[in-house]
Amino acid sequence: MKKSTIASLIGLAFTSPVFAAENIQLEDVTVKANRFEHKDTETTYASEIHTAKQIEASGAATLYDYLAQQTSLNLLPNFGNKATPSINLRGYGGENGHQNVVITVDGQRLNNIDLSSQLLAGIPLGNIERIEISKGSGSVIYGDGATAGAIQIYTKAKTGATIVSSLGNFGQKNHYASAGFSNELIDISANLAHDSHDGFSKKDETGYKDQFTSNSQNVKIKIKPTEYLRLFAQATSSRNDTRYVNALIEAEFKDNPRQVTQRPFSQTYTHQALDTNQWQVGAEYDIAEQWRVSATHFREDKTSEFVNFFSAFKYDYEANELNVRYIGDQLSAIAGIQVYKGDRKNSSNITSKDNKAYFASAEYHPTWLLEGLTLSAGARGEKVRYKFNPDAGQSLNDSEHLSAWDIGANYQINPETSVFANYNRAFQAPDIDRFFAQDFSLFPVVTTTFNGFIKPMRSKTFNLGLNHTLPNNRFKVSAFYANLDNEIYLVPIIFQNTNIDKSHKYGLEIQDHISFTDRLSAGLIYTYTRAIVDKEVVPVFLIEVKNKDLPGVPKHAVTANLNYKFLDAGNINLSHAWRESTYAFNDFTNNATQKQGHYESTNIAVSYRYKKVQLFAAVNNIFEHENSIQVADDAIYPVDFARTWRVGFKADF
């Protein structure tokens, strides 16, 4: 995309459509990422909200598709794996970005204690009520890893019944069924989901393509025995089986991204089976008119098996939270404790990472001082403890004491315009794969020691923004600057984890949603991001890196969509996602011969509703742009390179 096109899109964001009808009214958007519920324009932090209405209009089939094509997040299949994708928010990179954003579903944390990315495949898109993306904030509530921000996903409390089914090319199948019941005493709902495809690349030497299957089930219940007490429980299971491709050399990718590489020992696709069972129980009790106490227990049992490599891990995660909340006219406050325990087991050892934290946060509206002013402040202390218990040999233990805090302000200049600013300090404790070093020199005997090179990462982020809301136009702009100490990365070739001495990031984010008429609307998200390595000496090679771009971070990114209601019951959505080319993941010196190409996907979705049945069709990547992940010269993973289509129906009962 040419820079003139980018400028035109930004110009559109700043232009209010004076010809819009006076009776057009955009729906109010509420957020609760910081545990206080209010309009998104009243927050002291930068936020991006996506509602169920927006999700349905997009025509996306999966959560990955929606996040990659409709949000400011830079998502790509993780070396070809869409189930656990790479996530880049605010310049933390495609390789490590997922460890710098905390993702929760109905409050349950999805982040792992090792290098594995969050499992998104087990979250049916049709079951999502709202997605909140909090940028440059969230470390007080979410703690370890919330350096770029946090993503909160809230699922629906379903009433009635819904069936959604679609089929497409490459053997795509997407089915979803949900049902629920609600009255003044109980809310109960359940859903089943299936997502699969037969693969987009050619068959490997074993006769398999890069195929994928995911089956998930969820049930949630909320009981209201009295006016002051609410009990809730939720359980989810997800079964995922995926094969993803190996890297191609440049000549192979240009010739045909669907082919199997001819590299020795790489003609078999990686095969992973990933199964998880999650559940949570909790209670809320109003101890007084403005006071509420909440307690929640989370549990997850997960198994990850890499079939080709005869490698399997079993994960046991357990979390508890207890908090007390006060909601007043001028002051709102919350304080609590969080305990998170994670174990990873394999055939020879158990490795653990345990987090214990306390936090407090408050918002104050000093109307006596200035009408329309909101002040916020919060702090968190967290202890992270590591354990390594082998079946034979010496056990290892270590711990870290870390802290985070946040201060902010929002000022409502007039009913349409508000400005905000906040300063956030956050941290990322190393995961267990980075914290331990393994010596394979005497293989099959493997010696494990603590990795003395690794330190926790600390970030200091300043955010400044403006919200401008008219009946037909919602506009947001924010700017940020982040200063980092000990940003964590993997040294290429030698596979040694270490820290970047000094680095910083800054950028600009623009969001705009416009209703031109009651039938025509448009949305735009533009981000400009710079991620700079100020100083680092690469271990072993002793190569000095100064003032270089962090690999895997595109400077410019745009997602835009146009929605037209061509009939009272008919709707069409056209969307486009584009991200600038960037340096390959391993290219810290910014001088490799090959760069990662730009990402591009143009998509269209059409739907028509007749009474309680909706028919729809969608085409993704209309122009068949060949996207990829570039790790190094002649190490290219083809992703999102095929044109796909699907047709289906949705029925409500």
Span 230-260, pLDDT tens digits? 999 999 999 999 999 999 999 999 999 999 9
State the pLDDT at residue 210. 95
State the pLDDT at residue 27. 62
636: three-class secondary structure by DSSP: strand
State the pLDDT at residue 13. 40
State the pLDDT at residue 540. 64
State the pLDDT at residue 494. 67
Q: Give the chain's largest Cα–Cα span.
A: 76
State the pLDDT at residue 264. 87
Residues 267 and 260: their CA atoms lie apart, in Å, by: 6
Helices (H), 23-100: 52-58, 63-70
Tell me which amino acid residue 612 is: K
Q: How far are the Cα atoms of 98, 100, 430 from residue 112, in angstroms, in the given order?
A: 10, 12, 11
Residues 87 and 264: their CA atoms lie apart, in Å, by: 30
Residues 599 and 579: their CA atoms lie apart, in Å, by: 5
Residue indicated by tokens 């302000």: 409
CB neighbour list of residue 548: distance below 8 Å, 6 or more residues apart: 532, 533, 588, 589, 590
Residue indicated by tokens 């869409």: 82
State the pLDDT at residue 12. 43
Cα–chain center distance at 490: 21
State the pLDDT at residue 18. 38
State the pLDDT at residue 11. 47
Residues of the chain with pLDDT under 50: 1-23
Buried b or exposed e, range 145-177, using 16+ CB within 10 angstroms? bbbbbbbbbbbbebeeebbbebebebebbbbbb
Instruction: Please report, for the chain, how many H helices and E strands are present, in that order.
Output: 6, 36
State the pLDDT at residue 36. 83
DSSP 378-439: EEEEEEEEEEEEESSS--EEEEEEEEEEEEEEEEE-SSSEEEEEEEEEEEEPPPHHHHEEEE
State the pLDDT at residue 22. 42
CATH code for the domain in which residue 333 is found: 2.40.170.20
The total domain count for the chain is: 1
Residues 499 and 520: their CA atoms lie apart, in Å, by: 49
- Asked if 632 and 492 touch (Cβ cutoff 8 Å), the reply is yes
Domain holding 26, by residue range, is 3-652
- The model's pLDDT over 355-402, given as tens digits with 9 standing for 90+, comes to 999 999 999 999 888 889 999 999 999 999 999 999 888 899 999 999
Q: Are strands 38-39 and 30-31 parallel, antiparallel or unpaired?
A: antiparallel
- 184 exposure class (CB count in 10 Å sphere: 0-12, 13-18, 19+): exposed
The number of beta carbons lying within 10 Å of the beta carbon of residue 53 is 10
- Asked if 90 and 507 touch (Cβ cutoff 8 Å), the reply is yes
Residue indicated by tokens 């739907």: 607
**Please, what is the end-to-end C-alpha distance for the chain in angstroms?**
44
